[in-house]
Amino acid sequence: METPYIIDDRDGGRFKVARETFTSQEVFEKERDLIFQNCWLYLGHESELKEASAFVARTVADQNILFVRGRDNVIRALFNVCPHRGSTVCREKRGKAKTFQCMYHGWVFKNTGELAHLSGENAYSKDFKEGDESNLRPVPRLEQYAGFYFICFNKDVEPLEDYLAGSKEYLDVVSAQSAQGMEIIGGTQEYSIQANWKLLVENSVDGYHAESTHATYLDYLMNTNGGLTATRLAGKGYDLGNGHAVIEYSAPWGRPVAQWIPMWGEDGKKEINQVYDELVGRVGAETAEKIATKNRNMIIFPNLVVNDIMAITVRTFYPTSPNSMMVNGFAMGVVGESDWRREYRLSNFLEFIGPGGFATPDDVEALEQCQNGFKSAANAPWNDISKGMKAAVPSFDDELQMRAFWREWNRRVSEFEEK
């Protein structure tokens, strides 16, 4: 690109992003090499591997990965690629297996990665199975924080805890919602969006669009007897460092972790109060109030979103071209919670965040309309992300959180120094 990717005029209170960053093949290739090969990327949650020999097969940044708890009870991330001819080894999405067999030539691997058997073994050298080159290759780096497992393809990357910076506090808030722990519920929502992946980053921490884009959902809650409290939408945006950001805010909808709404009835109120009292006793009144009554939308750079709102959503997305992405969404809940709370949690998740819910179709349409508009980038070249740039305390519906992402993105990708 001949122009800078961003214009960051802090004195003038103007922040602009070149629309070509959403359409350029050159930029897409730089992102693939400079961001997705060098940043920590979310792989999965410890709850998905509760028992020895449990596995999940995932695609992370176009790489096929086996997330597996071996027979030795150690959690690993292995490239799901046969060292023989490169075929995908495990073709099931999840399950339990002590071994994995490649369908092409029948090589068999232990769930710890070592080659266990190969047909025609006598035709190979005696020490063929002893070298690492014949095993499933481990991903260079695998680390976890608060049960969230991340991988990086660059072995020299900084430690995960350093990389996460201020986002650790908000992962702690999610994990502290239950003494029994948190778990991924059910399977995966998978869908595509015909838009650049960075649009979903922006959208995920954008408090500005809620009342216009999601008016139908808010109307639905208002017209549902007891679906809302009198709490108004209000909060702040925070730059968490390293490109991570969050908006934290109060909202009128119910939260199973413990914000009651009238439609849940007196029995629901009793249970929610018990949950809240347990939180106070375990983490203290201040943290309990934060956990129970505050909503959070967080982006962990580059592409992990944790929405702790009327339900908890863990979402990742990867670009497949400058104009398209694949999205994976997971519901998270409290281990051992009552059937009543689990039902409302999943109902809230599907109603708002699910691909057929109130929010996601609206957001998908908005992002695809933006991508369509970028066809005019040569004549209308800039997006504006200046809202709240001069504010002493940015509101949740300002755009500080997007600027935090873009500054880190620009640092990693741009040939131009920030101005």
Non-local CB neighbours of 325 within 8 Å, separated by 6+ positions: 192, 193, 195, 196, 197, 200, 317, 318, 319
- With a cut of 80, say whether residue 400 has pLDDT above it: yes
| Residue-level pLDDT at 416 | 45
| Residue-level pLDDT at 415 | 57
Q: At what angle do helices 197-204 and 359-373 cross, to 10 degrees?
A: 130
Sign of CA dihedral 386, 389, 395, 400: positive
pTM here?
0.94
Classified by CATH at the fold level, domain 41-160 comes out as: Rieske Iron-sulfur Protein (2.102.10)
| Residue-level pLDDT at 3 | 79
Cα separation, 153 vs 135, in Å, equals 18
At 205-240, the pLDDT tens digits run 998 887 787 777 777 767 776 677 778 889 999 999
Count of other CB atoms within 10 angstroms of residue 222: 10
Q: How many helices (H) and strands (E) does the chain have?
A: 11, 20
- With a cut of 60, say whether residue 163 has pLDDT above it: yes
Token pair, residue 264, equals 């849940």
- With a cut of 60, say whether residue 417 has pLDDT above it: no
* pLDDT tier at 391, thresholds 50, 70, 90: very high
* pLDDT tier at 119, thresholds 50, 70, 90: confident
At 174-206, the pLDDT tens digits run 999 999 999 999 888 999 999 999 999 999 999
Share the mean pLDDT of the chain.
93
Where do the domains of the chain lie?
Answer: 41-160, 176-413
* pLDDT tier at 418, thresholds 50, 70, 90: very low
Which CATH architecture is the domain 176-413 placed in?
Alpha-Beta Complex (3.90)
Average pLDDT over residues 150-164: 99
At 253-272, the pLDDT tens digits run 889 898 888 888 899 999 99
Average pLDDT over residues 332-352: 89
| Least confident segment among 48-62, 90-104, 127-141 | 127-141
